[in-house]
Amino acid sequence: MTDPYAWIEQSLATIHRAGWHRSTQAIDGLPGAMIQIEGRSYLNFASNDYLGLAGDDRLIQAAIHATKEWGTGSTGSRLVTGHRALHRQLEQAIAHLKQTEDALVFSSGYLANLGAIAALTGKRDLILSDQYNHSSLRNGAIVSGATILNFAHVDMQDLTNKLAQQRSQFQRCLILTDTVFSMDGDICPLPELLDLADEFDCMVLVDEAHATGVMGKSGAGCVEQLGCRGRSLIQMGTLSKALGSLGGYITGSATLIDFLRNRAPSWIYTTGLSPADTAAAIVAIELVQQEPQRRKQLWDNVALLKKLISQQSLLPSDSQILCVQLPNVKTALKAAQTLKERGIFAPAIRPPTVPTSRIRITLMATHTSDQIQQLASALESI
Q: Is 266 a binder of ligand PMP (CB under 6 A)?
A: no
Binding of residue 213 to ligand PMP (CB under 6 A): no
In DSSP terms, 360 is beta-bridged to 323
Whole-angstrom Cα distance, residue 45 to residue 346? 5
The span from the CA of 38 to the CA of 26, in Å, is 8
- Upper half-sphere CA count for residue 346 (Cβ side, 13 Å): 29
217 is catalytic: no
Q: Which of 87, 134, 162, 241 is catalytic?
A: 241
Q: For residues 110 and 200, which CB has a smaller minimum distance to ligand PMP in the complex?
A: 110
Longest dimension (CA), the chain: 66
Stretch that binds ligand PMP, among 102-110, 145-153, 275-283, 314-322 (CB under 6 A): 102-110
CB nearer to ligand PMP: pick between 78 and 210:
210
Shortest separation between residue 164's beta carbon and ligand PMP, angstroms: 28
φ/ψ (deg, to 5) at 43: -80, 130
Which of helix, strand or coil describes residue 314?
Answer: strand
Stretch that binds ligand PMP, among 21-29, 144-152, 204-212, 331-339 (CB under 6 A): 204-212
Query: Per-residue DSSP letters for 338-374?
Result: HHHHTTEE--EE-TTTSSS-EEEEE--TT--HHHHHH
Q: How far is the CB of 178 from ligand PMP (least distance, A)?
A: 5
Q: Which segment (26-34, 205-213, 214-222, 274-282) binds ligand PMP by CB under 6 A?
A: 205-213
Task: From the candidates 87, 98, 162, 210, give the one annotated as an active-site residue.
Answer: 210
Active-site annotation holds for 162: no
**Site for ligand PMP, residues 172 to 191, rule: CB under 6 A:** 178, 182
Ramachandran region of residue 311, left (φ > 0), alpha (ψ -120 to 50) or beta?
alpha
Report the Cα 23 to chain-centroid distance in Å. Answer: 21
Q: Is residue 173 within 8 Å of residue 201, measured between CB atoms?
A: yes
Nearest distance in Å: CB 83, ligand PMP: 20
Q: Is 280 in the site for ligand PMP (CB under 6 A)?
A: no
Which position among 31, 82, 109, 221 is part of the footprint of ligand PMP (CB under 6 A)? 109
Distance CA 275, CA 255 (A): 26
3-state secondary structure string across 45-114: CCCCCCCCCCCCHHHHHHHHHHHHHHCCCCCCECCCCCCCHHHHHHHHHHHHHHCCCEEEEECCHHHHHH
Residue 153 annotated among the catalytic residues of the structure: no
Residue 136 sits in the site that holds ligand PMP (CB under 6 A): yes
Residue from 209, 336, 339, 375 touching ligand PMP (CB under 6 A): that is 209
From 182, 266, 274, 357, active-site residue:
182
State the nearest-atom distance from the C-beta of 112 to ligand PMP, in Å. Answer: 7
Listed residue (260, 210, 208) closest to 98, CA to CA? 208
Stretch that binds ligand PMP, among 26-34, 167-175, 207-215, 332-340 (CB under 6 A): 207-215
- CB nearer ligand PMP, residue 125 or residue 277: 277
Provide the binding-site residues for ligand PMP, judged by CB under 6 A.
108-110, 113, 134, 136, 178, 182, 207, 209-210, 238, 240, 248
Q: Which residues are known catalytic residues?
A: 182, 210, 241
